[in-house]
């Protein structure tokens, strides 16, 4: 079988970093772990149905050992076309990505890919509730940052040659979340505010 390579760019950087747990708040859980726990809690309590999408892989070679399950022997990480999380809450479509930085004063835009911004913008146009969950690890602060603001800052940064969003901008337009025990990341509280804002805009 010829060896194929994925169409997308190599995904080594993210693939590796996703296996290095970032320690914050003394809990030793990654933002992804905390979100998985929170999504599970929201599903179990029937508040929302949100999942992380599986990591997209380009499968090249699969073995089928007799009387045993298939084993993938060669595969590559692909660049995802979309964000990592989506689902449904009170009739609303939710779509978001979760990112963290060790920076203290700004959020580096290199954490996002252009196609993720385009995806969030397309979902916004369809009436979805779209945002980024942004954690400042060193500050132990976590924000829901609306996709419409992210898109505005992304475009401004492209034009101005800037490479990050100042914390003050995220403080001004984001919704700060305060970790709880259940769920660890109570992001639906922020989503409720986004829904209120959306309704307000429609009625204005």
- Burial class from Cβ neighbours inside 10 Å (0-12, 13-18, 19+) for residue 169 reads middle
Binding of a copy of itself by 199 (CB under 8 A):
no
For a copy of itself, the binding residue among 7, 64, 159, 172 (CB under 8 A) is 64
Site for a copy of itself in 102-161 (CB under 8 A): 119, 122-123, 125-128
Binding of a copy of itself by 39 (CB under 8 A):
no
Binding of a copy of itself by 10 (CB under 8 A):
yes
Cβ atoms within 10 A of the Cβ of 73, count? 10
Q: Is 116 one of the annotated binding-site residues?
A: yes
User: In angstroms, what CA-CA distances link 58 with 35, 52, 84, 141?
Assistant: 25, 18, 17, 36
Binding of a copy of itself by 53 (CB under 8 A):
yes
Q: Is 97 one of the annotated binding-site residues?
A: yes
Cβ atoms within 10 A of the Cβ of 154, count? 21
For a copy of itself, the binding residue among 12, 45, 168, 196 (CB under 8 A) is 12
Q: Which helix (H) or strand (E) holds 107?
A: strand 106-108
Query: Minimum distance between the CB of residue 50 and a copy of itself, rounded to whole angstroms?
Result: 10
Site string for a copy of itself, 73-92 (x = CB under 8 A): xxxxx--xxx---xxxxxxx
Q: Residue 92: beta bridge partners?
A: 89
* DSSP per-residue string spanning 122-173: HHHHTT-EEEEEEEETTTTEEEEEEHHHHHHHHHHHHHHT--EEEHHHHHHH
Using CB under 8 A, list all residues that contact a copy of itself. Answer: 5, 10-12, 15-16, 43, 46, 48-49, 51, 53-57, 59, 62, 64, 68-77, 80-82, 86-93, 95, 119, 122-123, 125-128
């Amino acid at each position: 079988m010829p060896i194929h390579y994925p169409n997308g760019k190599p995904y080594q950087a993210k693939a590796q970093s996703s296996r290095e747990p970032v320690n914050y708040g003394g809990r030793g859980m990654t933002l992804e772990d905390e979100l998985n726990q929170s999504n599970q809690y929201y599903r179990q309590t029937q508040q929302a149905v949100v999942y992380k999408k599986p990591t997209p892989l380009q499968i090249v070679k699969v073995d089928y050992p007799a009387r045993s399950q298939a084993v993938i022997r060669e595969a590559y990480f692909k660049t995802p076309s979309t964000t990592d999380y989506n689902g449904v809450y009170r009739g609303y479509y939710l779509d978001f990505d979760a990112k963290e930085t060790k920076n203290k004063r700004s959020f580096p835009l290199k954490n996002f890919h252009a196609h993720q911004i385009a995806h969030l913008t397309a979902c916004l146009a369809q009436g979805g509730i779209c945002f980024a969950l942004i954690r400042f690890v060193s500050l132990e602060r976590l924000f829901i940052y609306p996709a419409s603001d992210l898109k505005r800052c992304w475009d401004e940064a492209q034009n101005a040659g800037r490479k990050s969003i100042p914390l003050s901008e995220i403080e001004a337009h984001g919704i700060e979340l305060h970790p709880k025990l259940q769920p660890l990341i109570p992001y639906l509280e922020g989503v409720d505010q986004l829904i209120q804002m959306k309704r307000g805009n429609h009625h204005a």
